[in-house]
Amino acid sequence: MYQFNQFDHTDIDNLDTVLKQLQVHGCNIALIKALPKNANDKNQIYIHSDASLLNSIFALNFRDREASTSQTKRASTPGKNIPEAVFESFSWLDNKGQTAKTKACKAIVYSQYPEARLSGFLTVDGKMPRSLSIDYTKSNELLPRYLIVGATKTGEAIAMIAVSPKKAFVEQFKNLDNYHGSSVCKAIIIEQETGTEKLKLILKNKISNKVLLGCRFNKEGNTIPFTGTQVHGYTLEHACGIKPNADKHGDIFGIELKSFTRKKLTLFTPEPDGGLYKDDFNLFMTTYGYEKDGAYRLTGLHRAYKENTKTQLTLKIICKHAIKTKDPITGKKKIEYQADDYNPEIAITKQMMDMAVVLVDRQDKIAASWSLERLLNCWGAKHNEVVYVPAEKISNDDQATLDDGYKWKVKFSNKVLWCNKTNAENLFQAIHKGIIYLDPAPKYCPDNPKENKRRSQWRINDIYKAACDLYEETAIVQL
């Protein structure tokens, strides 16, 4: 009999057995896939047509892998960079309930097919489930296998391999719904005391209908006055006991908190990773900006496909579309890729080849560009559950606290906008429609480089109206 190891779960009776184990590690949802016979660590495991399914619930870092050199694979395009999405944390769960982190589990995105495949299953100790080894998939003892990947609220992945589970598990698996249109992945929600309910209680007790002094935590965790423009955001985080963060995880229980004093707000601020802006910021500013008092600035709203009259730059989404052709000599069918604009009528999974949001001038030169990877790194698990908290900034009229440096008070409402479930399709559709627009404010000072600023603000005019386009579920929640 084939010798498995501690990462091969050969005693799974039913789904409840799995869910209880994942629940211990804070998972609130699990993806489950029946593995084909050839699924092993070398062949990679097909998971979806792109990485957006994973990006919606797991914390991933997107980057380019390497140029494709294949001349034989179907539809391959030699020389094209292959994007990959690396899990910030991916661990195997052993049969004693302990976890072991992998070195770098990732989803490799083959845009030309399109498909995303999982790779990199070795733990930091060089181990992995033996049921995923090449020698096992070539053996005569091959048994049915199921890959189960649980997700925590902060996007960590806890994975298991169920080897030849009992009949009850198989029947329960068949009855599960496919996850977000996936043809191979099914999903199950893991019941537990949710972070959502915990956060509602905190907001009700700490900020609902309350007027608080504008403050924040310092590095030592002490409360200090805060007088900057983001006083409402820092005060909200302070009231909820949240230390300021700039990572990809949500602020509390894996949920992102955003306070706003106006319906118009900034969603995120990724800087360009291409174009003249990236190659030569100074030249970008002197070429497209305007000079005033010895400094160059570039401002103005840039919506998709509408030239900004001040900068004469146009924001748009570009990609490459697959075009089926025939070789005039052999008559064989082949696929070529043609540069074009993003088409909202076509699924984003079929448009990810060289996809980017760009600012182009009248000569069609790229002044600045944001790659698909750069934008997806800012939009994913962290934005999958977001609470937008309205607030009002009020001048502090209490002399005693004024003397202590508290210039502002912040008044919070008892109603918040609670949003759930987003993905790459929603993001790019919103940019295409002009719902999300670029509102830049960089500054270049030739005589004083210390005053230079790079600021790319992606904004929306009305969060209440935009929420329906950005998220699948929205609700006004009374605390």
What sign results for the dihedral spanned by CA atoms 391, 393, 394, 399?
positive
Instruction: Please indicate, yes or no, whether residues 165 and 282 belong to a single structural domain of this protein.
Output: no
Give this prediction's pTM: 0.79
Judge contact between 404 and 275, C-beta under 8 A: no
What sign results for the dihedral spanned by CA atoms 428, 247, 475, 231?
negative
What sign results for the dihedral spanned by CA atoms 426, 185, 156, 357?
negative
In angstroms, rounded to a whole number, what is the distance separating the alpha carbons of residues 179 and 264? Answer: 33
Radius of gyration of the chain (CA): 25
Instruction: Please indicate, yes or no, whether residues 209 and 167 belong to a single structural domain of this protein.
Output: no
| Last residue within a domain, chosen from 155, 189, 223 | 189
Instruction: Please indicate, yes or no, whether residues 149 and 224 belong to a single structural domain of this protein.
Output: no
Instruction: Please indicate, yes or no, whether residues 159 and 273 belong to a single structural domain of this protein.
Output: no
Which amino acid appears at position 330 of this protein? Answer: T
Instruction: Please indicate, yes or no, whether residues 201 and 185 belong to a single structural domain of this protein.
Output: no
Q: What is the CATH number of the domain that holds 277?
A: 3.30.70.3570
* pLDDT, position 245: 57
Q: Where are the alpha helices (DSSP H) in 125-257?
A: 134-137, 167-174, 195-206, 231-239
Q: Is residue 68 part of a domain?
A: yes
Given the structure tokens 């391959």, which residue do they identify? 76
Exposure of 40 in the CB half-sphere (CA atoms within 13 A): 13
Residues ≥6 apart with Cβ < 8 Å to 51 = 60, 62, 83, 85, 107, 109, 116, 376
Instruction: Please indicate, yes or no, whether residues 201 and 171 belong to a single structural domain of this protein.
Output: no
Paired with 297 in beta bridges are 290, 443
Instruction: Please indicate, yes or no, whether residues 113 and 139 belong to a single structural domain of this protein.
Output: yes
Judge contact between 288 and 361, C-beta under 8 A: yes
Q: Is residue 1 part of a domain?
A: no
Q: Is residue 407 part of a domain?
A: yes
Helix, strand, or coil (residue 52)? helix
* pLDDT, position 249: 54
* pLDDT, position 73: 40
Q: Where are the beta strands (DSSP E) in 246-329?
A: 256-260, 265-268, 290-292, 295-297, 314-326
Q: Is residue 2 part of a domain?
A: no
Q: What is the CATH number of the domain that holds 72?
A: 2.40.330
116 lies in which domain range?
8-189
Instruction: Please indicate, yes or no, whether residues 119 and 210 belong to a single structural domain of this protein.
Output: no
Exposure of 138 in the CB half-sphere (CA atoms within 13 A): 6
Instruction: Please indicate, yes or no, whether residues 20 and 153 belong to a single structural domain of this protein.
Output: yes
Instruction: Please indicate, yes or no, whether residues 333 and 208 belong to a single structural domain of this protein.
Output: yes
* pLDDT, position 196: 87
Instruction: Please indicate, yes or no, whether residues 127 and 254 belong to a single structural domain of this protein.
Output: no
Instruction: Please indicate, yes or no, whether residues 185 and 298 belong to a single structural domain of this protein.
Output: no
Joined together, the tokens standing for residue 84 give 């990959």
Peptide bond preceding 114 in cis form (omega within 30 of 0): yes
Q: Is residue 393 part of a domain?
A: yes
* pLDDT, position 207: 96
The tens-digit pLDDT sequence of the chain (479 residues) is 688 999 999 999 999 999 999 999 989 899 999 999 999 988 889 887 766 778 878 888 887 654 443 333 434 343 345 578 889 999 999 999 999 999 999 988 776 666 788 999 999 999 999 999 999 999 888 999 999 999 988 889 999 999 999 999 999 999 998 887 678 899 988 865 578 888 999 999 999 999 999 999 998 889 999 999 999 999 999 999 987 655 555 678 878 899 999 999 999 999 999 999 999 999 999 999 999 999 999 999 999 999 999 999 999 999 988 788 887 778 788 778 888 999 999 888 778 888 999 999 999 999 999 998 899 888 877 788 899 999 999 999 999 999 999 999 999 999 999 998 888 889 999 999 999 999 999 999 999 999 999 999 999 999 999 999 999 999 999 99
Q: Is residue 3 part of a domain?
A: no
How many domains would you assign to the chain? 2
Q: Is residue 328 part of a domain?
A: yes
| Last residue within a domain, chosen from 166, 189, 212 | 189
In angstroms, rounded to a whole number, what is the distance separating the alpha carbons of residues 226 and 219? Answer: 14
| Last residue within a domain, chosen from 189, 208, 223 | 189
Judge contact between 159 and 66, C-beta under 8 A: no
